[in-house]
Amino acid sequence: MPNARINLKKELENAVSENMLKVIYLCSEAADSFPVSVFLIGGAVRDVIIGKNHFDTDITVQGDALEFACFLEKKYPDICKIKEIHDKFGTAKLVFSINNQQIDIDVAGTRKETYPYPGSLPKVEEIGCELYEDVKRRDFSINSMALSINKNDFADLTDYLGGYDDIKNKKIRVLHPSSFIEDPTRIIRALKFRVRFDYELEESTKILQNKCLDSGMFDNFCGERIKSELKQAFNLNRPEIMEIFLQENIYKLVNKDINIPESVQNLAENCEKTALEYLKFLKPDFIWLIYLGVLLTDFSQEKIADIAYNLYLSGIETEILTGAAILSEKAEEIEQASSNYEIYQSFEGFLPEAILILLIKTPQLKEKINLHLKKFKKIKIYTTGQNLIDLGLKPGPLFGEILGKLLKAKINGEFSSKEEEKKFLAAQMHH
């Protein structure tokens, strides 16, 4: 049964932006005139209780969400538009324009779901069911609460499954024993919430997590969603994510052959430090690949390509992981590189993220990596193909050779100014 009446109006007003609050009140008015019961649900309610700002607002309608979405659009024609409709799931995305700000909300009908097989996408069984049925299919108690937005009980909390107490006690608890088996991505979600909020896994949830990881029933399933959760977790750039990922065998969701490094803590902290120190060389969205990459450098390129395929990685994401493995293989050779240009050539063509993975694995290369990323990579020559044509040369392979020679000489410090480059070029032409 739900807790004694808890009203979170103040907390709601504090947690969301002024414009978002306006949208919630507009939805509230529409809910009453439709009329239908409408709730804020899931992560949004959790974050209201915790007191954190939440950006994607999910609204659940006890009934037909598509009808309610159309009703909102008709009621507020100047400021509300339906962006997307997903008939199959009975959900819609709406955008409100409030004070020149675009505010997105997701509207869904309460629904029952089942999993045809472990790791599959859930199948929607019944739309418009009781709220209880909707929340009990969810991942954790902390994400299973609803906040009414109808006027007569505005901001009253519905908490059938003890989420409020679990937030207060900082616990992550699944709602039924097959939760992880049905959806193994929840193991990574739990990891993300544990570190993000400094929560712990509740005892029986921990046992269920271990059982699921030991069962291996997730092989090759739900790679795309595993990727999405891995990305969110590791992009927090918190070493604890890596530590728990390895210590609790969560890595098996990616590949069971990943080796646990000698000092997990050192490696995890190095990843964090390196990502922070070289932030401007990294796409923020690729931080997670640094953590994943350092665990895969000993794998063959073929195996990495397999893992990348199973996780639905993009071309560039795959290139970071394979690039790091290739660089690791030739780390000793790179250590021998002595001239500036040799150093430049060792790294040229590799993405900075791949080079940073190498740095974490081989810290003695730091000086060379710094020279490359901070100096050599920036060096450009002034001479262009057009300049060579103006000097009477015919376009062809010779152009590449001359420009290459110029770049090599400049990186090796043989000249630096534009004038000196001209002189160098003239001397080359003479030869």
Is 60 a binder of ligand CTP (CB under 6 A)?
A: no
Residue 11-50 contact track with ligand CTP, rule CB under 6 A, x = bound: -------------------------------xx-------
| List of residues 6+ apart from 258 with CB closer than 8 A | 246, 251, 252, 295, 296
- Least separation in angstroms between residue 96's CB and ligand CTP is 19
- Binder among 13, 18, 56, 414 for ligand CTP (CB under 6 A): 56
Is 109 a binder of ligand CTP (CB under 6 A)?
A: no
Planar angle of CA 24, 77, 82, nearest 5 degrees? 70
Binding part of the chain for ligand CTP, among 15-23, 151-159, 185-193, 345-353 by CB under 6 A, reads 185-193
CB 378 within 8 A of CB 385: no
- Binder among 57, 141, 158, 185 for ligand CTP (CB under 6 A): 185
Nearer to ligand CTP, 209 or 328 (CB): 209
CA distance 48 to 45: 5
Run of H or E including 71: helix 65-75
- Least separation in angstroms between residue 208's CB and ligand CTP is 15
Is 139 a binder of ligand CTP (CB under 6 A)?
A: yes
Per residue in 184-215, is it b (16+ CB within 10 Å) or e — as a string? Answer: bbbbbbbbbbbbbbebebbeebeebbeebbee
Residue type, 71: F
- Binder among 30, 107, 138, 299 for ligand CTP (CB under 6 A): 138
Binding part of the chain for ligand CTP, among 138-146, 235-243, 339-347, 403-411 by CB under 6 A, reads 138-146
Is 227 a binder of ligand CTP (CB under 6 A)?
A: no
- Least separation in angstroms between residue 236's CB and ligand CTP is 10
Run of H or E including 340: helix 340-347
CA distance 222 to 288: 18
Is 183 a binder of ligand CTP (CB under 6 A)?
A: yes
The site that binds ligand CTP (CB under 6 A) totals a number of residues, namely 11
- Binder among 57, 91, 110, 143 for ligand CTP (CB under 6 A): 143
Instruction: Give CB contacts under 8 A, 24+ apart, made by 205-211.
Output: 205/172, 205/173, 205/174, 208/174, 208/177, 208/179, 208/180, 209/180, 209/248, 210/248, 210/249, 211/180, 211/181
Nearer to ligand CTP, 48 or 406 (CB): 48
CA dihedral 120, 122, 123, 128 (to 10 degrees): 180
Binding part of the chain for ligand CTP, among 6-14, 160-168, 178-186, 406-414 by CB under 6 A, reads 178-186
Binding part of the chain for ligand CTP, among 6-14, 166-174, 180-188, 355-363 by CB under 6 A, reads 180-188
Instruction: State the residues that interact with ligand CTP by CB under 6 A.
Output: 42-43, 56, 58, 138-139, 143, 183, 185-186, 189
